[in-house]
Amino acid sequence: MLFYIFEGADHPVNHQKPMRTLKVIPLILIGLVGLSAQAQTKKSVAKTKTATTAAGDITASAKRGQVVYASNCLVCHMADGGGVPGMNAPLVKTSYVLGSKQSLINVLLKGMQGVEIDGEEYRNVMPPFTQLTNQQIADVLTYVRNNFGNKAPAITVKDVAAVRK
């Protein structure tokens, strides 16, 4: 293309070639812009799709987790996750709830007793919950991590399976 333009400039007498070239260039440019716009749209549509699916997964898991929470945890940690001072630890922004997935999963699989949590001690005993399935543990922890003012990535069945082994 460039070759033609320069050739045209070199021969000002020849009006035909540069004219044709000048008509072709905009067409090619429009084509390129169109193609890249199309690619961009496809990309952003794909991105939005993944984002919604991930958010949907968390919501669905947390919803199931709420049921698990009501029948297994609420009696000690209370409906608002506030716990009972000196008795049962709160589940609001504690280093366990927001911290490493592995140690959080282990709290449920092994239970907890006499451990100081963020500078506070609790008299009651947290029993182990090995009777829950990996799915139930993933769901209840995802629920806890995204409620009571908490915001942390979901816990998946895979995460639980890796710790339970």
Q: Tell me: does residue 61 bind ligand HEC (CB under 6 A).
A: no
Nearer to ligand HEC, 5 or 92 (CB): 92
Q: Which is nearer to ligand HEC, 30 or 60 (CB)?
A: 60
In whole angstroms, how close is the CB of 29 to ligand HEC at the nearest point? 59
> Interface mask (CB under 6 A) for ligand HEC, residues 17-56, using x and -?
----------------------------------------
At residue 56, what is the residue type?
G
Cα–Cα distance measured from residue 138 to residue 61, given in angstroms and rounded to the nearest whole number? 8
State the nearest-atom distance from the C-beta of 37 to ligand HEC, in Å: 48
CA distance 102 to 106: 6
Best CA proximity match to 33, nearest among 22, 25, 23 = 25
**Residue (of 95, 92, 99, 107) closest to 147 by Cα position:** 92
CB 146 within 8 A of CB 154: yes
Return the residues of window 92-111 that contact ligand HEC according to CB under 6 A: 94, 96-97, 104, 107-108
List 8, 122, 145, 156, residue binding ligand HEC (CB under 6 A): 122
Nearer to ligand HEC, 58 or 76 (CB): 76
Phi, psi at residue 56, to the nearest 5°? -65, -40
What does the buried/exposed string (b/e) look like for 77-90 if buried means 16 or more CB atoms within 10 Å of the residue's CB?
beeebebeeeebbb
Contacts with ligand HEC by CB under 6 A lie at: 72-73, 75-77, 88-91, 94, 96-97, 104, 107-108, 112-115, 117, 122, 124-127, 129, 140, 144
